[in-house]
Amino acid sequence: MTEMRSAVERVAHSIHRRGLTHGRTGNLAVREGDRILVTPTGVSLADVSSADLSVLDAEGRHLEGPPPTKEAFLHVAVLRARPSAHAVVHTHSVHAAALSCLADLDQVEPLPPLTAYYGMRVAPLEVVPYFAPGDQAATGAVQRAATRSHALLLRNHGPVIAGVDLDAALDAVEELEHTAHIFFLTSGMRTAPLTTQHLAALQPQPRQEPTS
């Protein structure tokens, strides 16, 4: 698990350095076997240390290390819903958080697919109703949304995104933030989002068996 611990520290520091979080907000988790490593409570991502991470079991019970982030249940719920995912990143990045606060937010397509990389790394984006930070009553809503998409937007809060590893989850978080920024920059202007056909063409194609 040493390699996983180093990855958590590296990505946590990268998230803070890229300005995707502020203060002591944001948290991340990585799964290895039946254990989940999560960032501890009350620690800025800039100061996360590989030696001081919380260890949970698959049900979210605290096994060792410092007390986990109060939002650890979000990570556990997403990982439970998505067996192929091994990492989750949650930030309060400015433009994605601003998007989550819009009164007229489209619940079906909260962010139009303005770029190909958004289509490849994020879409579809699922909206989760508002719950107070740390309110474990959100568990069911988060888990249900995560069965439909690896990318969630918590109302009046921010994104929670899963990936096959921490780097993939971080790429998706950054792509969501970038596209949300473009969305606000083009507000009031006519845009040309990608079509359903464009999005379909971006998805990995099934491997073709060679013909004899």
Question: Length of the chain in residues, anyone?
Answer: 212
Mean pLDDT computed over 56-76: 97
For the chain, give every domain's residue range.
2-191
Q: For the segment 153-207, what is each residue's pLDDT rounded down to a tens digit?
A: 999 999 999 999 999 999 999 999 999 999 999 999 999 998 889 989 988 765 5
Question: What mean pLDDT is reported for the chain?
Answer: 95
For residues 155 and 127, give the distance between their C-alpha atoms in angstroms, rounded to a whole number: 7
Segment 102-116, tens digit of pLDDT: 999 999 999 999 999
**Residue range 90-95: mean pLDDT, rounded:** 98
* CATH number of the domain located at residue range(s) 2-191 in this protein: 3.40.225.10
Tell me: pLDDT of 211 over 80.
no
pLDDT in tens, 37-57: 999 999 999 999 999 999 999
pLDDT of residue 210: 55
Three-point CA angle 190, 114, 85, nearest 5°: 155
For the chain, percent of residues with pLDDT exceeding 70: 96
Q: Which run of H or E residues covers position 3?
A: helix 2-17
Query: What's the pTM?
Result: 0.93
Look at strands 151-154 and 125-128 and give their pairing.
parallel
Q: What pLDDT was estimated at residue 206?
A: 59
Catalytic residue positions, numbered: 71, 117
* pLDDT mean over 60-74: 97
